[in-house]
Structure 1
C-alpha cells in the first residue's frame, strides 16, 4: 500500500475531512513553531545586549502563550486524527461488510473466511495506528516541512541550500528500509493468516479430533505456526528499531552540517547572531516530520497491509457487474429455465417451476441433486442463467428482500435464543419471538435461554427449529412474500415434524409462497405441489413434462418415466433386469 492510497479517499469519505482538518492544524502548528523560535531568538539576543527586564518580560509572556498554543494544537491534532481514524475505520468496515453481501459466497469462493474475518476485525482495528501516528506525520511532511524550508531559506540562503540538499537523504533511507519492512510485514501477515486459519480449522474439527483421540497432535502444529508468527513479528520490530536509528542518524548529521556552517560564519562575522540562532532552532523542526514519518511507518504497516487486502475485496465488489433491479410478472417464487453453474460448469438444470402465493410446495430430489444450489441461486448466492423471481422482483437484491430463509445448517451465534431469532435487532421484542418459536414447533424453548456458538446447548432438532423461527420472524417483521426452508425437518421426530408442517400450511394459507426443500414423506404428502429437479412435476399421481433435459437420461415411455435404466411410476421405482 502506498503512503496514502487514493482508494482510501474513494471508499471512506471521512478521509478527506480528516486530511483537510489535519492540514489546517499543521499550518497553525508550523506558525507556532516559527513564533516560538523567533521569540526565543529575540529573548536571547536582547538579553545578551542588556535589554531591560520589562522588555524581556513582555517577550517571555508571549513565549508562554505560544507554548500553551502549541500544546493545545498538539492535543487538537491528536484528537482530529483519532476521531477521523475511528470514523474512517467505521466507514471502511461498513463498506467491507456491504461488499461481502454484494459478492456473496460465490464471489468470495476463492478467499478464506478466516482471512476475511481477520481483515474486517483486527486488520481494520490496526488502521488506528495509521491514522493516529502515521498520517499526521505524513501531513506534517507535506505541509510543515516546505513552509519551514521556505522560512529558513528566506532568513539564510546558505542554510536553506544545505537543507534542500540533505533532506532527500532521509526519504532515500526511508524507501530502502520501507521495502525491507514491507516484505517482512507481508510475511508477518501471511503467518498471522495461517495461524488464524489453522486455529479456526482445529476449533471447528475439535469434536471429531477428540472423538478419535487426535486432538493432541494439533498442539505441535499450532505451536509451530505461533512460533513462526512470533519470529516474523520480532523481525518487523528489529527493522523498526534499525530504521529509527538510521533516520535519526541521517537527520542529526544534516542538522550538524547546518550548525557547523552557522558557527563558522558567526565566528567569521558574516552572519548575524539573531539569524543564526533562529535558523538553528528551526532546522531540527524541518527534519522532524520526516523523522516521525519513518518512525511511525512501522506502527502503521499492519493496518496498511490489512487495508490493501480490504481494497482488493472492495474493488472486486465494485468491478462486479451490478444486476439491474427488474420486475417480474406475478408474485410468489418462479424459476424459468434456470441452470446453476459453479466455476462455469453447469451443475443443476435447466429447471422450471413456480410456487404461487398461498401454496406450500416441496422441492424433492435425491441427495446431491442440487436442491441447495437452486436455493442459493434464488438468494443470489450462486451463478445461474434463466430467470428467478420472488415477490415480483427478478434481481438478486430484490429477491433477497422478498425471501425469508433458513438453510440446512442453523448458523446460530452465541447469545440468547431471542437474539438468534431476531438476528440483528439490538432489543428484540419478546412477544414476536415467542410467536415465531411457537410457529416453528418449539414452544418449550425459553427465549432468554443462552446458547453457545453454533447452537451449543441445544439438540440438533432444537437448533433447527430456532433457525426456522428466525425465518418466520423475518417473514413477519419484513412482510416477506416468500418463505424457503432447506431440510427443516431432517432432525425432527415424527410428531414434531407434523406440528411444523401444519404450521407451515397455516403460513401458506396467509398468502405466503412456501417452498420446503425436503424428501421426507410427511412434507411431500402435505405439500400442495411437489417440484422435482429435472423438470418433473408430480401432483396426485400425474406426471407432467416440464423442461426435462435429455442429458439427464430421462424420457417418458408408455406413461412411465424412465431415468438411467430405472422405471418410475407413481413415485415407485422398479429396477430393470
Structure 2
C-alpha cells in the first residue's frame, strides 16, 4: 500500500491523474477525439479573427464584402458545430467512464472482501460510487475538454501572434505565465477546501446511516434528539465548507479575469500607439488584437472549470485508492485455483479482532463430518467463520483442499449463514438463490424444506432487510440459502453460525437432522452453536474458551 499511497500523492499535483487512463479505458478515445476537436477549434478561431479583420478593413476601404461575410458565416457555423460535437463527446465519455469506474469499484470491494470493508466507511463508499462519480459530468464535460483546448490552442495562437507582430507575441509570452502561477496557488487552496468538504459529506453520510440503522434503539433510550442534533451540526459544517469553496471559486475567477484583462489591455495600448505613429498597419493590429483575448481565454477557463470539477476529482481520488488497494492485494495471491472437495484444515489459526489476538485453533474438518465449535460468548467462534470468509484477518494456516483460503473466493467453496440473516427486498426464492445467475426452482423448495421453512411461499415478497418475516423465519431462509448453495455445487463446505438461536426445540431438531443428512451426503459441515442438542449430530467437538482453546 505504500507504493499506491506514494503514487496517489504524486498524481495530486498533475492536471490529469494518469490512473484515469489505466482504470477507465473509455477515457483514451475521449482524449483523442477531444484533441482533434480542439485542433479544429483553434483553426476556426484564427480564421474567425482573420475574416473579421478583413471585413473591417475592406469596409473602411469600400471594397466588396459578400465573399468575406459568407466565409465568416461558414466559420461561425463550423465553430458552433465543433462546440456541439465537443459536448456530445464529453457527455458520452463521462457516462462510459462513470459506468466503468463504478463497475470496477464494486468489483474491487468484492475482491478486497468483507474484512477490508469492515474497516472502512461504507456510507462514504456509497456516496463516492453514487454522487461522487456523477460529479464526473463536470470533469469530463468542462474541465478536461478545456484543458486539452488550452494545451492545443494556446501555443498555436501565441505563435500566430508572434508571426504577425512579434512585440504583441512577446507581451503574451511575458504575461501569460502569471495566469498559471495564480492558478496553481489558488488551485492548492481550492483542493484543500474541496477535500474538507468531501470528507465532511462522507462523515455526514456515515452519521445519517448509523442513526437510521439504530433509530429504534435510540428511541428506546430517549437519545434520538441527540442524534438529530449531531446530524444538524455536521450539516452546518458541510454548509460552511461549501460556502468556503464558493468563496475561493469566485476569488479565483476574479483574479484570473483581472490578470487576463490587464494583459490584453497592455497589448491593446501598445497596438494603439503603434497605429498612431504608423509603425503598424490596421490589418495586422486588429488581427492581433482579436487573437489576444483568445490566447488568454483557454487558461482562464481551465481555472474556472477546475472548481466546477473539483468534487469529481476528489471522488476519483477515493475510487483510485480502492482500485490501487485491490490491485496490490491481488498481486501476491493471484493464485489459487478452486480445489475440488477436500479437507478444511486450520493449523494454529489465530484471529485478530481489533487489538485482540484470539488463541490459536487447530482442527480438521473433512467431507461427511459435522465439526461443532462451542464455547462462551467472546471465545472466538464467530471470528473463526469470519476469517474463513475473509471478514477478519488471521495468523497461522487455513487451507481447503490444500489451497490457502486467503487465495480463494469464499463464494467458490463456502456456503455460509450468519447470526444476522442478511435478507434483501425481493421474494423468498430470490433471497435463497442470491448470487445464482440460473436459479433452480426445485432446489429452492428442497433447501427451504431442509431448513424447516417448507411452509413458506417461495414467491412471497419481502421488504427491506427481509421485512415481513418473523425472526425465526428469516433465520431459516438464511440457512436455506446456505443449503441451496451447497446443493447447487457452489459450496462444498457448509458453515452455520448459531442457526437455531431463534428456533423452537422441534424445528431445531429437524434442522439438526437436515445437517446430519447433508453431512452424510458428503458435505463438510462446520457448526457454531451453544445448544447442547447440537452435540448429538457432531462428529468432532471443539471447545473454545476465552483464555485457551481445547479440542
TM-score under structure 2 length normalisation: 0.89
Paired residue secondary structure (1:216): helix
Structure 1 341/216 Cα, relative in aligned 2: closer, same or farther at 3 Å?
Answer: closer
Q: Which runs of 5+ in 1 are unaligned?
A: 535-548, 555-560, 562-577
Deviation for aligned residue 1:391: 5.0
Distance change (3 Å), C-alpha of 1:329 and 1:479: closer
1:160 CA displacement: 0.9
Q: Which moved more, 1:179-188 or 1:417-426?
A: 417-426
> Would the alpha carbon gap of residues 478 and 47 (structure 1) be closer, same or farther in structure 2, given more than 3 Å must change?
farther
Work out whether 1:34 is the aligned partner of 2:30.
no
| Residue 375 (str. 1) matches residue 371 (str. 2) | no
CA distance in structure 2 between the aligned counterparts of 1:391 and 1:229, rounded to whole angstroms: 52
Once the two structures are superposed, residues 541-571 of structure 1 have per-residue CA deviations (whole angstroms, 9 ceiling, x without a partner) of: xxxxxxxx9x8386xxxxxx9xxxxxxxxxx
What residue number does 1:118 align with? 127
**Structure 2 residue aligned with 1:357, among 348, 351, 367?**
367
Aligned position for 2:506: 495
If you compute each CA radius of gyration, which structure gives the higher value, 1 or 2? 1
2:59 aligned with 1:50: no
Conserved in 2, the CA contact under 8 Å of 1:323 and 1:395? no
| Higher RCO, Cα 8 Å, sep 6+ | 2
CA distance in 1, matches of 2:83, 2:429: 47
Indicate conservation of the 8 Å contact 1:364/1:532, yes or no.
yes
Partners of 1:91 and 1:220 lie apart in 2 by 38
SS at 1:348's partner residue?
A: coil
CA offsets, 1:51-80, max 9 Å, x none?
A: 33xxx3333333222222222211221222
Of the structure 1 ranges 10-19 and 66-75, higher mean CA displacement relative to structure 2 is found in: 10-19
> Deviation of residue 100 (structure 1)?
2.2
Return 473-482 or 376-385, whichever deviates more: 473-482
> Structure 1 residues 211-220 or 233-242, which shifts more?
211-220
Q: Per the alignment, do residues 325 and 176 of structure 1 end up closer, same or farther by CA in structure 2, a change over 3 Å counting? A: closer
| Alpha-carbon distance between aligned partners in 2 of 1:511 and 1:129, rounded to the nearest angstrom | 57
Shift of 1:490: 1.0
Contact kept in structure 2, 1:437 and 1:443, CA below 8 Å: yes
What does residue 479 of structure 1 align with? Answer: 490
Deviations 1:61-108 (A, max 9, x none): 332222222222112212222222222223322333233233334334
- Aligned match of 1:102: 111
Aligned length, in residue pairs: 536
1:149-173 CA-to-partner distances (Å, cap 9, x unmatched) read 1222222211111111121121122
One of 525, 528, 536 as aligned partner of 1:514: 525
Give, in whole Å, the separation in 1 of the partners of 2:81 and 2:518.
Answer: 64
Contact 1:341-1:348 within 8 A present in 2 as well: no
Q: Please tell me the root mean square deviation across aligned C-alpha atoms, in Å.
A: 2.8
Taking the aligned partners of 1:369 and 1:447, their CA distance within structure 2 comes to 37
Name the CA distance, whole Å, in 2 between partners of 1:276 and 1:476.
Answer: 84
Provide the secondary structure at the position in 1 that maps to 2:496: strand
Q: Which residue of 1 aligns with 2:100?
A: 91
Match of 2:84 among 75, 78, 86: 75
Aligned partner of 1:335 in structure 2 is: 346
Partner of 1:525: 536
Counting only pairs closer than 5 Å after superposition, residues 456-471 of structure 1 correspond to structure 2 as: 456-471=467-482
Distance 1:89 1:532 in 2: 50
Counterpart pick for 1:262 among 267, 271, 286: 271
Q: Report the TM-score when normalising by structure 1.
A: 0.85
Q: Which runs of 5+ in 2 are unaligned?
A: 1-11
| Partner Cα distance (1:322, 1:380) in 2 | 16
Q: Aligned pair 1:275/2:322, yes or no?
A: no
